[in-house]
């Protein structure tokens, strides 16, 4: 058994959840906030058999997009700082071994 933890941009979360559910994965969604841009994310917890991990990762990869957003830049001395951009989105996926999963 594996536990997949997938952190996805909020803009992709509904599509990713629907695709995972359609592919017969059981998904738990958590509302999370990233520490770098302080923007909303959705973290998915997916318990699955070892042989289905790659399929789940493919579904997540297919439905997660990278976007460009302004990077928060502090202004000093009253003059606005020049805006920078940073790529966000896509997905961060971690796969952990689990000993046991029970549903009641």
* CATH number, domain containing residue 27: 3.30.70.120
Dmax over Cα atoms in the chain, in whole Å?
59
Q: Is 102 inside a domain boundary? A: no
Check: CB of residue 30 under 8 Å from CB of residue 43: yes
Q: Is 104 inside a domain boundary? A: no
pTM of this prediction?
0.79
Q: Is 103 inside a domain boundary? A: no
Question: Phi, psi at residue 68, to the nearest 5°?
Answer: -110, 125
Q: pLDDT, tens digit, for every residue of 48-85? A: 999 999 999 999 999 998 877 676 666 666 555 666 77
Taking the C-alpha atoms of residue 104 and residue 92, their distance in angstroms, rounded to an integer, is: 29
Q: pLDDT, tens digit, for every residue of 7-55? A: 998 889 999 999 999 999 999 999 998 766 667 899 999 999 999 999 9
Q: Is 91 inside a domain boundary? A: yes
**How many structural domains comprise the chain?**
1
């Amino acid at each position: 058994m594996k536990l997949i933890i997938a952190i996805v941009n909020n803009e992709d979360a509904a599509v990713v959840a629907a695709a995972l559910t359609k592919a017969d994965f059981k998904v738990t969604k958590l509302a999370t906030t990233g520490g770098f841009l302080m923007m909303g994310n959705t973290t998915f917890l997916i318990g699955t058999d070892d042989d289905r991990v790659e399929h789940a990762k493919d579904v997540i990869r297919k439905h997660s997009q990278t976007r460009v957003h302004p990077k928060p830049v502090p202004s000093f001395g009253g003059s606005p700082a020049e805006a920078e951009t940073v790529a966000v989105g896509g997905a961060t996926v971690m796969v952990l071994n689990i000993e046991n999963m029970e549903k009641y």
